[in-house]
Structure 1
Amino acid sequence: MDPGPDDMAGVVDLFGALARAELRQALSELAFRQGEQREPAAFEDSVEGAVDSYHLVAVPADALGESVEREGGADLLVAGPVAFPRLPEGGEDLPHIMDVPDREVDREAAAAAAEEQFRADAAAAVGAGDTERVGTLLDVSYELEAWGPVDLADVRRRLDAARDGTN
């Protein structure tokens, strides 16, 4: 089982939010249901890729009313601005398998976390001269503004200038 980023967003969306370890465990459970033996750690790169692509957004747990420290940090993942969440085969059974509560997502807190990460990613891409990442982030900026109450016009101007070589 190789879940795509939209599959992971669907699993996260099923619960409202999941810690990274919880998502990896859920993906391991789904793989098992599909006849594959995969350890949760096998999904680490896929999960991080979904975060990098903004299919998933890491939100500080305390911003979502959670105060429990968990393995891998206190962040919870929520379905992000570029995701089209879809539940993988067998996903509907996850709430019965996993001991994870449903979590309420504060959209403003999620948008603030996404904006903070986006600004850091944009600065890194511009600083590195990574025109491919700059182009990707330009596309993400529009999705992010539609997804949450953020204004990224200033960052978009920097990304445009970097893409055009005028920075």
Structure 2
Amino acid sequence: MADGSGPSVAARDDLAGVVDLFGWLTRGEMSHALSELAFKKRTEVDEGAIDAAIDLAVREYALVPAPDDALSGDGETDRSEEETTALAVGPAAFPTLPEGAEDLPHILDVPDRDVDREALADSVLSQLREEAVEAINEGDADRLEVLADVTYDVEAWAPVDTDPVRTRILAELDGGA
């Protein structure tokens, strides 16, 4: 999944494609799915590369942590630990299916699932606001650039208004408000 230079955009979109097959997956289920794909290709699994790819996809909003109130279809999963954090397709993703992924629903024991997009969008907007404040407080211009781009993705993805967040981010990038 990684070539030493880090996960690619294609890898992030492949992760989103796998999640999209199921509605949502936990980190553990995602890791299992990717292990199954590697097995089908007769390649070794690099858990570190899988974790790095998932982390990057989350950091860049291709995958987003989904709150319990946005999830349906699996009332028995305790998502209080990182391994069981529920992930859904995020606003910056262009989901694609990696080779062999169409067989995953037959391989994995995952119940039918769905995501309440309105609840997910509210959670993503809240996360975006928090990350923008953190990046502003830290003076992290690179992160602010990423978050500014994400504000456009979020508005195209869900009926939410990110203009106040974007305006604050852009003001900070232009020299402060």
Q: Tell me what 1:69 maps to.
A: 78
Residues 91-131 of structure 1: CA distance to partner in whole angstroms, max 9, x if unpaired? 00101111112211111011011111111111111111111
Residues 57-87 of structure 1: CA distance to partner in whole angstroms, max 9, x if unpaired? 1111343134330453653211111110000
State the SS of the aligned residue for 2:114. Answer: coil
Aligned-partner residue type, residue 139 of structure 1: D
2:19 is aligned with 1:9: no
- Give 1:1-150 correspondences, 5 Å limit: 1-2=1-2, 4-38=11-45, 40=47, 42-65=49-72, 66-67=74-75, 68-70=77-79, 72=82, 75-150=85-160
**Fraction of identical pairs, as percent:** 50
Taking structure 1 as reference, are residues 156 and 135 closer, same or farther at Cα in structure 2, changes over 3 Å only?
Answer: same
Aligned equivalents of 1:92 and 1:74: distance in 2? 23
State the SS of the aligned residue for 1:84. Answer: coil
Aligned equivalents of 1:155 and 1:7: distance in 2? 29
Of 124-133 and 72-81, deviating more is 72-81
TM-score, with structure 2 as normaliser: 0.87
**Where does structure 2 lack aligned partners over 5 or more consecutive residues?**
none
**Where does structure 1 lack aligned partners over 5 or more consecutive residues?**
none
State the SS of the aligned residue for 1:83. Answer: coil
Aligned-partner residue type, residue 79 of structure 1: V
Aligned-partner residue type, residue 5 of structure 1: R
Aligned equivalents of 1:73 and 1:106: distance in 2? 22
Alignment coverage as a number of residue pairs: 167
Residues 26-78 of structure 1: CA distance to partner in whole angstroms, max 9, x if unpaired? 11111111111215564112101100100001111343134330453653211
Shift of 1:145: 1.2
State the SS of the aligned residue for 2:94. Answer: coil
Aligned equivalents of 1:73 and 1:43: distance in 2? 13
Shift of 1:150: 1.5
Aligned equivalents of 1:21 and 1:39: distance in 2? 14
Paired residues of 1:60 and 1:74 also in contact (CA < 8 A) = no
Aligned equivalents of 2:107 and 2:48: distance in 1? 18
Paired residues of 1:25 and 1:40 also in contact (CA < 8 A) = no
TM-score, with structure 1 as normaliser: 0.92
